[in-house]
DNA sequence: CAGTGAGCGAGCTTCCGCTTGACTT
């Protein structure tokens, strides 16, 4: 009897069915050993070591203390028993950095030694599995070193910087390579919104009485362009060096009257082909984004639903960064498309998609229907589960369908001294959009008639409209998962957990499905930016990934790299960091955000007041600030009215606020 | 003398990434 150990139980069942008798396939459920946490009891030799809590002996080549994970005690016992009675043990954790590490930890726990048998495969088919077990290799210790470097760095950074926040901010705060970089991205967006000054401008549109009629916008007067949102800076000024006309209400009204008396002459018609490619098959971040946008589901809920679909064998593994489809999957998808839309809906060859993500590890396939591609209505699912399966199903099929093809028409018209523009798109071949449309349907483009240069039309219904430039929008959970992926922060298995941590710490809160940074979050981000800028820099992770690759290929030593980062950068910054409580000025309100004992407060002309739990920066206006200071403030809208759709991650722990005396009660450690 | 409350000081918090059930609310 041979024992094969994989990570996931679902995978184990599948592979067991391929290998059959003579093999026992078991799952280890991910990592089995880790650095100690405060709940772990250490081996006697480390009990009194000064680095026991940190779990890393920095002065001894950053040697980690590894302990068997408590939550895996039963799993480890089972695997040991199985290994004892096996003739050979094959370690088949996922083919990536973490998987190689898991294989090594297993080899230690099961006493398999340096020559333990390691196997990897890229897809789960009988042929691929048999091929893999026929050609085992040994563990790649450089790759294991790369993982250990990542783990050690994260512990050093997290346990090094978090205590600064305990002292400067108070309360159980936290910082880390991933959560703090994510908080910084959100905080920068919130700050640019806070400082944004909207600019008003007028736009004038008119209906052109052709057959059929269409709408055109005024773009210039006497050759000088009209101001648009893009003409203004974030501080509400016209961009320098820009020659534009800025209408006021009166001038806009004059223009409306002028246009209604004019005829327009077509002065230019530009036709250009439009080709839209289908979106790629789903990855974890793509699923989060699509389910959030189309089904209004929160990150935690998408994960939960997708996990149940995975466990029912309806879709493939849900934590992946690869859009790759196996040949078998492409065949099944093409078959399903042909059945539904006929063979003409398919391109000659199957489509394969490459990842755009530099940090992708590509240990798993894209998220797609598993097995025989059950039709959504045949799955027996209902509600959100059905909707999510349908999304996966349709995105997979769409990725194999033909491009949507059409033509874009752009028209310029002249009406006296006024220049007008109109454009329209006509799809001549619907392609994949017959099944899945990823364009926002609210931005539907109009259809223009065939027009000739020199044609003349009357105008009617001119309308002037005041518009305002708007600040960059906040992120939804789905959108932000994509931002994290693009920045290389976090992994498919942690995007959701990072969002939960930020909410649990009360740095970030969801309102109307948008991620807001809380006052506390602004203060923490501003403190970290000032004292430990290296940690909040999104580039930090990207560079780390490059260096980990060098360690994995043997070009860089683990100790040399950790010395550069820890002794050269992070440790000096932590050592020099000031422990003063952060402040955040709100100049428009003549107010300052401060923090005492982990609770954000507002100070106006020497008077301080603690902010209630659910007050967000967007709530802080002259009126609310006055109400807060006079004690007549009532909390903004209570919890979201549709709790089913919220992520479920929001901490509901009640804080007792200390009222208007919070500032007076300043503790000395927050000052010194 | 017992009960109360202000004031002080000690002890605590934390990271990221891989996987699911086994727990309680």
Strand B-contacting residues in A 493-512, CB cut-off 7 angstroms: 493-494, 497-498, 501
Strand B positions closer than 7 A to protein CB: 12-21
Task: For residues A654 and A650, give the distance between their C-alpha atoms in angstroms, rounded to a whole number.
Answer: 12
Q: Which pLDDT does position A362 carry in this prediction?
A: 81
Q: Does A560 have pLDDT greater than 50?
A: yes
Distance in angstroms: CA A7, C1' B18: 8
A562 in Cβ contact with A152 (< 8 Å): yes
- Of A19-33, A34-48, A503-517, least confident by mean pLDDT is A34-48
Distance in angstroms: CA A224, C1' B18: 60
Q: Which pLDDT does position A672 carry in this prediction?
A: 30
Strand B–CB A532 distance below 7 A: no
Task: For residues A1 and A21, give the distance between their C-alpha atoms in angstroms, rounded to a whole number.
Answer: 8
Q: Does A654 have pLDDT greater than 50?
A: no
Q: Which pLDDT does position A413 carry in this prediction?
A: 96
Mean per-residue pLDDT over chain A, rounded: 91
Residue ranges per structural domain of chain A:
2-146, 147-196+474-576, 200-277+404-468, 284-398, 583-665
Distance in angstroms: CA A163, C1' B9: 19
Q: Which pLDDT does position A637 carry in this prediction?
A: 59
Distance in angstroms: CA A262, C1' B1: 102
**Quick one: average pLDDT of A356-360?**
80
**Quick one: average pLDDT of A467-476?**
95
> What's A2-146's CATH class?
alpha beta
Strand B–CB A166 distance below 7 A: yes
Q: Does A311 have pLDDT greater than 90?
A: no
Q: Could you tell me the pLDDT band of residue A606, with boundaries at 50, 70 and 90?
A: confident
Q: Could you tell me the pLDDT band of residue A659, with boundaries at 50, 70 and 90?
A: very low
Distance in angstroms: CA A28, C1' B20: 10
Residue with minimal CA–C1' distance to B22 is A71
Find the catalytic residue in A62, A90, A121, A317: A317
> What's A284-398's CATH class?
mainly alpha
Distance in angstroms: CA A668, C1' B8: 13
Q: Counting runs of H as helices and runs of E as strands, what totals does chain A give? A: 20, 22
Q: Which pLDDT does position A441 carry in this prediction?
A: 55
Closest CA to A2 of A183, A136, A98, A123: A136
Q: Does A458 have pLDDT greater than 50?
A: yes
CATH superfamily of A147-196+474-576: Topoisomerase I, domain 2 (1.10.460.10)
Strand B-contacting residues in A 461-490, CB cut-off 7 angstroms: 490
Q: Could you tell me the pLDDT band of residue A447, with boundaries at 50, 70 and 90?
A: confident
Q: Which pLDDT does position A444 carry in this prediction?
A: 57
Q: Does A243 have pLDDT greater than 70?
A: yes
Considering all nucleic acid strands, name the nucleotide whose C1' atom is nearest to the C-alpha of residue A182. Answer: B16
Q: What is the pLDDT of residues A133-190, one digit of tens each?
A: 999 999 999 999 999 999 999 999 999 999 999 999 999 999 999 999 999 999 999 9
Task: For residues A231 and A222, give the distance between their C-alpha atoms in angstroms, rounded to a whole number.
Answer: 18
Q: Which pLDDT does position A437 carry in this prediction?
A: 85
Considering all nucleic acid strands, name the nucleotide whose C1' atom is nearest to the C-alpha of residue A162. Answer: B14
Percent of residues, chain A, with pLDDT higher than 70? 94
Q: Could you tell me the pLDDT band of residue A471, with boundaries at 50, 70 and 90?
A: very high
Radius of gyration of chain A (CA): 30
Q: Does A648 have pLDDT greater than 70?
A: no
- Of A23-37, A419-433, A657-671, least confident by mean pLDDT is A657-671
Q: Which pLDDT does position A150 carry in this prediction?
A: 98
Cα distances (angstroms) measured from residue A151 to each of A32, A35, A51, A442, A537: 14, 8, 16, 46, 18
Q: Which pLDDT does position A641 carry in this prediction?
A: 43
Q: Angle formed by the axes of helices A495-504 and A177-194, to 10°?
A: 60
Same fold, A2-146 and A200-277+404-468: no
Go through A415-454 and write b for each residue having 16 or more CB atoms within 10 A of its CB, e for each that does not: beebbbebbbbeeeebbbbbbbeeeeeeeeeeebeebeee
Go through A108-132 and write b for each residue having 16 or more CB atoms within 10 A of its CB, e for each that does not: ebbebeeebbbbbbebbeeeebeeb
Strand B-contacting residues in A 46-75, CB cut-off 7 angstroms: 53, 69, 71
Strand B–CB A26 distance below 7 A: no
Q: Which pLDDT does position A657 carry in this prediction?
A: 37
Q: Which residue has the higher pLDDT, A660 or A511?
A: A511
Place of tokens 């039963």: A74
Q: What is the pLDDT of residues A97-143, one digit of tens each?
A: 999 999 999 999 999 999 999 999 887 888 889 999 999 999 999 99
Q: Does A69 have pLDDT greater than 90?
A: yes
Task: For residues A513 and A75, give the distance between their C-alpha atoms in angstroms, rounded to a whole number.
Answer: 38
Considering all nucleic acid strands, name the nucleotide whose C1' atom is nearest to the C-alpha of residue A490. Answer: B16
Strand B–CB A321 distance below 7 A: no
Q: Which pLDDT does position A361 carry in this prediction?
A: 80
**Quick one: average pLDDT of A81-91?**
96
**Quick one: average pLDDT of A606-615?**
90
Strand B–CB A603 distance below 7 A: no
Considering all nucleic acid strands, name the nucleotide whose C1' atom is nearest to the C-alpha of residue A101. Answer: B18
Q: Which pLDDT does position A630 carry in this prediction?
A: 86
Considering all nucleic acid strands, name the nucleotide whose C1' atom is nearest to the C-alpha of residue A174. Answer: B14
Assigned fold of A200-277+404-468? Topoisomerase I; domain 3 (2.70.20)
- Residue A202 makes CB contacts below 8 A (sequence gap 6+) with A226, A247, A248, A249, A251, A252, A464, A465, A466, A467
Considering all nucleic acid strands, name the nucleotide whose C1' atom is nearest to the C-alpha of residue A535. Answer: B15
The answer to whether residue A317 is catalytic is yes
Q: Does A238 have pLDDT greater than 50?
A: yes
Q: Does A207 have pLDDT greater than 90?
A: yes
In sequence order, what DSSP letters do the residues of A80-149 get, joined into one string?
HHHHHT-SEEEE---SSHHHHHHHHHHHHHTT--TT-EE---SS-SHHHHHHHHHS-B---HHHHHHHHH
For the entire predicted model, the pTM comes to 0.88
**Quick one: average pLDDT of A416-430?**
92
Q: Which pLDDT does position A652 carry in this prediction?
A: 36
Strand B–CB A177 distance below 7 A: yes
């Amino acid at each position: 009897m041979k024992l094969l150990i994989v990570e996931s139980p679902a995978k184990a069942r599948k592979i067991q069915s391929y290998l059959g008798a003579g093999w026992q396939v078991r799952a280890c459920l991910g990592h089995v050993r880790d650095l100690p946490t405060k709940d772990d009891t250490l081996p006697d030799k480390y009990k009194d070591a000064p680095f026991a809590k940190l779990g890393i002996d920095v002065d001894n080549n950053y040697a980690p203390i590894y302990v068997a994970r408590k939550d895996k005690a039963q799993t480890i016992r089972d695997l040991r028993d199985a290994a004892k009675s096996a003739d050979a043990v094959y370690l088949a954790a996922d083919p990536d950095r973490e998987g190689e590490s898991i294989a090594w930890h297993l080899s230690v726990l099961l006493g398999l030694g340096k020559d333990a048998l390691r196997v990897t495969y890229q897809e789960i088919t009988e042929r691929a599995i048999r091929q893999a077990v026929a050609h085992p290799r040994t563990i790649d210790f450089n790759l294991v070193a790369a993982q250990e470097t990542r783990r050690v760095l994260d512990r050093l950074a997290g346990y090094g910087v978090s205590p600064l926040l305990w002292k400067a901010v108070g309360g159980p705060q936290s910082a880390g390579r991933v959560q703090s970089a994510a908080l910084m991205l959100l905080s920068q967006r919130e700050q640019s919104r806070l400082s944004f000054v909207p600019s008003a401008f007028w736009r004038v549109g008119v209906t052109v009485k052709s057959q059929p009629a269409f709408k055109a916008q005024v773009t210039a007067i006497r050759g000088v362009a009209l101001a648009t949102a893009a003409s203004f800076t974030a501080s509400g000024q016209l961009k320098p060096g820009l020659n534009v006309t800025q209408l006021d209400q009166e001038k806009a009204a004059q223009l409306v009257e002028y246009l209604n008396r004019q005829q327009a002459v077509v002065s230019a018609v530009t036709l250009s082909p439009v080709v839209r490619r289908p979106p790629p098959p789903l990855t974890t971040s793509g699923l989060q984004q699509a389910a959030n946008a189309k089904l209004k589901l929160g990150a935690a809920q998408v994960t939960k639903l997708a996990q149940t679909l995975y466990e029912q064998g309806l879709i493939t593994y849900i934590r992946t960064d690869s859009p790759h489809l196996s040949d078998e999957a492409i065949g099944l998808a093409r078959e399903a498309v042909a059945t539904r839309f006929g063979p003409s809906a398919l391109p000659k060859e199957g489509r394969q998609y490459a990842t755009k993500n530099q940090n992708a590890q590509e240990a798993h396939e894209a998220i797609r229907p598993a097995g025989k591609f059950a039709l959504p209505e045949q799955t027996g699912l209902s509600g959100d589960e059905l909707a999510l399966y349908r999304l996966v199903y349709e995105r997979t099929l769409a990725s194999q369908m033909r491009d949507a093809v059409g033509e874009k028409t752009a028209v310029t018209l002249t009406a006296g001294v006024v220049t007008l523009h109109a454009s329209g798109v006509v799809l001549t071949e619907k392609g994949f959009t017959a099944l899945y449309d990823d364009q926002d349907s609210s931005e539907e483009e109009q259809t223009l008639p065939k027009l000739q240069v020199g044609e003349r039309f009357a105008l009617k219904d001119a309308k002037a409209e005041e518009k305002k430039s708007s600040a960059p929008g906040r992120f939804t959970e789905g959108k932000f998962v994509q931002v994290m992926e693009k920045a290389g922060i976090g992994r498919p298995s942690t995007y959701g957990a990072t969002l939960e941590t930020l909410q649990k710490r009360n740095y970030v809160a969801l309102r109307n499905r948008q991620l807001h940074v809380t006052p506390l979050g602004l203060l923490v981000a501003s403190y970290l930016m000032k004292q430990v800028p290296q940690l909040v820099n999104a580039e930090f992770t990207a560079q780390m990934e490059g260096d980990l690759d060098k360690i994995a290929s043997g070009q860089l030593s683990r100790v040399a790299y950790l010395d550069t980062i820890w002794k050269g950068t992070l440790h000096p910054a932590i050592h020099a960091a000031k422990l003063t409580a952060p402040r955040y000025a709100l100049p428009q309100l003549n107010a300052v955000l401060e923090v005492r004992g982990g609770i954000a407060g507002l100070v106006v002309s020497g008077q301080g007041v603690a902010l209630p739990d659910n007050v967000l920066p967007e709530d802080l206006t002259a009126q609310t600030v006055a109400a807060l200071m006079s004690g007549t403030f009532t909390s903004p809208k209570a919890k979201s009215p549709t709790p089913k759709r919220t992520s479920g991650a929001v901490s509901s722990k009640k804080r007792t606020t200390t009222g208007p005396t919070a500032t007076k009660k300043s503790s000395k450690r927050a000052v010194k």
